[in-house]
């Protein structure tokens, strides 16, 4: 994999964090999930919308397998990295809860991207947009962090330090507001050290809320799959649930 300095020495922020630190942690076990839930049901050269595609890690994997992939994300920085990582990838900058698309055989939305929508109306907007984007029989695959994830994982802190960079992550969970907060501080050495601070908020959703939202949006064959039951073990899978649903 290309390093951030090889991709673009100028970008910073969460896009750099995803490419440098987090993609390799999430996506290899995600492949085991895809082998169970996605690849047997959606065959190349199916058209796939990678919703909240981030830096393009999953888009690259799907393109290499022969799928026709379009990436959508609201972050220009994320998309700029994705275009470097996956040359020629069609990308759209847009809001996951308010986008217009059609003609896709499948939509994937991974790495708890749905939790970043911090209101149920926003989540239902996403589900309705996905429903309109899918062809008849199309598959929607996505994952969410559920209450056990926030209860057991959000109180943790972590740090990674290398010769040219450092990452510090502090999490906390407000059970009353059902909001998980993550403070991220990065340092990069490019001649001198540069510091960047970010705050990320996720909302905790119950499985019943998501299931009901899928039904209201017109999905069928709705199924919830605990991450550890479909190949994603370890702390990355704690409280994580993958949903599959189809349209008529």
Burial class of residue 43 (count of CB atoms within 10 Å of its CB; 0-12, 13-18, 19+): exposed
Six-digit token pair at 144? 């969410």
pLDDT in tens, 47-80: 999 999 998 999 999 999 999 999 999 988 889 8
- Measured CA to CA, the distance from residue 103 to residue 11 in angstroms comes to 33
pLDDT of residue 11: 54
- Whether 4 has a pLDDT exceeding 70, the answer reads no
Q: How much is the average pLDDT of 181-208?
A: 93
Render pLDDT for 134-186 as a digit per residue (tens, 0 to 9): 999 999 999 999 999 999 999 999 999 999 989 999 999 999 999 999 999 98
Fold of 4-145+205-246: Rossmann fold (3.40.50)
For the chain, give percent helix, strand, coil, nearest 5. Answer: 35, 35, 30
Which of 15-19, 69-73, 85-89, 200-204 comes out lowest in average pLDDT?
15-19
What pLDDT band is residue 113 in, cutting at 50, 70 and 90? very high
Q: What is the mean pLDDT of the chain?
A: 92
Where do the domains of the chain lie?
Answer: 4-145+205-246, 150-201
Reported as a pLDDT band with limits 50, 70 and 90, residue 23 is: confident
pTM exceeds 0.85: yes
d(CA 12, CA 18): 10
The runs of H, that is alpha helices, within the chain are 4-7, 14-17, 23-37, 57-64, 76-85, 120-133, 147-153, 207-217
Poorest-pLDDT segment among 19-33, 67-81, 97-111 = 19-33
Residue 36 pLDDT greater than 90, yes or no: yes
CB 144 within 8 A of CB 234: no
**Per-residue confidence (pLDDT) for residue 21, from 0 to 100:** 75
What is the dotted CATH code of the domain comprising 150-201?
Answer: 2.20.25
Residue 215's CB is within 10 A of a number of other CB atoms, namely 13
């Amino acid at each position: 994999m290309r390093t951030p300095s090889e991709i673009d020495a100028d970008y910073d922020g969460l896009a750099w964090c995803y490419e440098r630190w987090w993609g390799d942690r999430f996506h290899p076990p995600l492949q085991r999930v895809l082998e169970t839930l996605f690849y047997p049901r959606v065959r190349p050269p199916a058209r796939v919308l990678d919703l909240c595609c981030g830096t393009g890690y999953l888009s690259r994997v799907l393109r290499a397998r022969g799928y026709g992939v379009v990436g959508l994300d609201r972050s220009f920085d994320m998309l700029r990295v994705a275009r470097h990582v996956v040359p020629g990838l069609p990308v759209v900058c847009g809001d996951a809860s308010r986008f217009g698309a059609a003609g896709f055989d499948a939509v994937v939305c991974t790495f708890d991207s749905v939790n970043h929508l911090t209101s149920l109306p926003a989540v239902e907007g996403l589900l309705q947009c996905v429903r309109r984007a899918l062809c008849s029989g199309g598959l929607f695959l996505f994952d969410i962090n559920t209450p056990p994830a926030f209860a057991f994982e959000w109180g943790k802190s972590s740090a990674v330090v290398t010769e040219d960079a450092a990452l510090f992550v502090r999490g906390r969970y407000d059970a009353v507001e059902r909001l998980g907060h993550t403070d991220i501080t990065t340092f990069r050495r490019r001649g001198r050290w540069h510091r960047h601070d970010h705050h990320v908020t996720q909302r905790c959703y119950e499985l019943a809320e998501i299931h009901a939202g899928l039904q209201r949006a017109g999905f069928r064959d709705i199924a919830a799959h605990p991450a550890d039951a479909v190949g994603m073990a370890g702390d990355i899978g704690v409280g994580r649930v993958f949903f599959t649903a189809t349209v008529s």
